[in-house]
Structure 1
């Protein structure tokens, strides 16, 4: 997967305005933009489904593997990749740091949400 340019991932990571829209089943049109929490771990961007693998956007992202996001005032064509394993501990820490104090934090670091973790990457290197 491609990497985010530093300026762009910095801008996305400091905001709380990411909206995600995987492609619909036709592979051409985007679904409805859905606001979602995002976190950065190293130079990668991650999102999770609050409702776990039952989240509609998550199911579409895993099935279609692509779509778009809007964040930090811009739109990006992106690729989606399901994530599992030890990286989830670091993603939990990033959620705790960014969203501490939120009553929803516990749900976002639960086993249910961890099972719906997705890495979001630009589809082109020239995302800057």
Structure 2
């Protein structure tokens, strides 16, 4: 594993959306799915707006790795469960970035129910 550069963090964090693909068991990539993305501190996070059973989330969690594209950055990544103490910062980042879309949609990726649908996106070497 490696760390994001400040430029990558800014470009991904400022991107309106992120494309995410998980790796199949045979090593090939699944099709990209477009989702929201936030930066909180020195990390990148994604959440499933449609719960833990959303197919992209289930596949990303099961494979633990994939590829992302956002803000001109394309990287192989690992998907990890985040530390428990970061969820308030992740919620705040989603509100700051996406509240203009209204409470119903932002509410689908914030609050206690969103904790279980959160993945930390970690760059791979």
- With normalisation by structure 1, the TM-score equals 0.88
Unaligned runs of 5+ in 1: none
Contact 2:18–2:36 (CA under 8 A) maintained in structure 1: yes
State the partner residue of 1:31.
30
Q: Write out per-residue CA displacement over residues 30-88 of structure 1, whole angstroms, 9 at most, x where no aligned residue.
A: 11101111101111000001112101111111111100001112321111102252211
Q: Does residue 1:109 correspond to 2:110, yes or no?
A: yes
Contact 1:51–1:113 (CA under 8 A) maintained in structure 2: no
Structural RMSD (CA)? 1.4
Q: Does residue 1:70 correspond to 2:80, yes or no?
A: no
CA distance in 1, matches of 2:113, 2:68: 23
- With normalisation by structure 2, the TM-score equals 0.90
Contact 1:80–1:118 (CA under 8 A) maintained in structure 2: yes
**Structure 1 runs of 4+ with >6 Å offset:** none
The structure whose residues are more often helix, as a share, is: 2
